[in-house]
Amino acid sequence: MRVKSEVPDERRAPRRGASTDSPMPAYGAVHGHGVAGVAWSEFALLEEAGLGRYEKRALVALAVHGVADAATLCRDGDVPTSKIYAAMERLGRDGLVDIRRSRPLLYQALPSELLVDRLAAQVRDRAEQAVRRIDGLREALARLPHRLPGGERRADVALGSESHVKRHVSRLAGARRRVLSYLEPGDLRVFAQMRESGFDVLRLIAGSRRRSGFEHRLIIGFGRRDGAAIRQFLRTFADLLPEPAALRYCAEIGHPFHLIDEEEVVLAVDHPFAGDGRLASLLVHDQGLADELAGGFETLWARALPDLGQIRAWPTSGSRAD
C-alpha cells in the first residue's frame, strides 16, 4: 500500500506532451548548490546499456542528490509520477541503486565507479546474448535450401583493398568448419592500414573463431626483403592470429587466397599500377576451384615451415608457389 507521503506532488509532474529529453531543470534550489543543468547527450550510453528513458533520467537525478525520494526524482528528473516507482524498482533489481524501505521510500545513488562497473557488466551481457542470437540466425540461414546446384558458379567483385577487406575477407568470420588462408606482405600491410582506419578485420575473425571454434590455418609467403616486416606484423597482431601450430611460413611467392568451408574462395587480384597494389578481389562460389585450392594449400603446407628462422632458401625473381 503506497504511503501518502511518498506520492509526488501532481502539480510538479511534467506536462502531458512535454519533451522527455529536455535539459534537466536548473538545480538552483537543490541544497543550495546551484547546479545549472544536465547535458543529456552525455548520458546516451545509459539507454544503450538497456535503461529506459525514465530510468535514465531518474538515475542521473539521483546521482545529483545522492539520496532522494520519489517526489524529488519526479521533479528534478522530469519523470511522470505514474512511471517513477516502476523505474526505480527496476534500477534496484539491476543493482544500480540502493532502495531504503523507509516511509517514505528513499533511494541512494551508488559510487560512480561501482555504477559504471555494473553498467559495463550489463552491456557485456547484452552483447553476449546478441551474439548467441546471431549464431542461431546463422544456423537457421544455413538450413535454408538456397545452395547453388552442382557445377553452378557465382562470383562477386570488390574493387580496391578496402572493399576487398570489408566485403570479402570479413566473410571469414562467418565460417562454420574451416578456413585456409595463404597471405603475402601486401595483405598484411592492408590489414594494418584498415585497423588504423577503424576496421580491424583480424579481430573480427579472431572473435568468431574463439566463439565457434572453426579451424583456421594460415601460411604466410614472403621474399628476402620482407622478414623484418613479417616479424613486426606478428608482434602487433599476435593475439589475433591462429595458434602457432596453425601458422606456417614459406619463402615462395604465390597468389593470396582464402578458402571458406570448402565452398567459398576469396582471390586477390593485384597489379603494380593500382594504388597500394590491390586492384580487386573475387569472391567465388565454385566447388571445383575450392577443391583445387584446398589440394594446393595442403601441398604447400607440407613444405612450409613453422619457424621463420628455419627459412634458408629464398625465391628468385619470377618464381611462384605451386
**So what's the pLDDT on residue 312?**
56
Q: Is the peptide bond before 104 cis (omega within 30 degrees of 0)?
A: yes
Buried b / exposed e along 49-87 (16+ C-beta atoms within 10 A): bebeebbbbbbbbbbbbeebbbbbbbbbbbbbbebbeeb
How far is C-alpha 104 from the geometric centre of its chain's CA atoms? 44
**So what's the pLDDT on residue 274?**
74
Of 199, 208, 223, 207, the C-alpha closest to 174 is: 208
**So what's the pLDDT on residue 314?**
46
Q: Which three cell numbers stand for residue 311?
A: 627459412
**So what's the pLDDT on residue 227?**
81
Cα gap 159→193, rounded to integer Å:
16
Give yes or no for a contact between 194 and 160, defined as CB atoms under 8 angstroms apart: no
Please give the single-letter amino acid code of residue 6.
E
**Domains (range + CATH), the chain:** 4-116 (1.10.10.10), 154-310 (3.30.870.10)
pTM of the model: 0.54
**So what's the pLDDT on residue 70?**
92
**So what's the pLDDT on residue 45?**
80
Half-sphere exposure of 241 (CA within 13 A, CB side): 22
For residue 139, give every residue at least 6 positions away whose Cβ sits within 8 Å of its Cβ, in sequence order, or none.
Answer: none
Cα gap 70→7, rounded to integer Å:
7
For residue 279, give every residue at least 6 positions away whose Cβ sits within 8 Å of its Cβ, in sequence order, or none.
Answer: 159, 160, 269, 270, 271
With the C-alpha atoms ordered 227, 309, 217, 131, is the resulting torsion angle positive or negative?
A: negative
CB atoms within 10 A of CB 296: 17
3 state SS for 26-62:
CECCCCCCCECCCCHHHHCHHHHCCCCHHHHHHHHHH
**So what's the pLDDT on residue 149?**
54
Residues of the chain below pLDDT 50: 1-36, 313-322
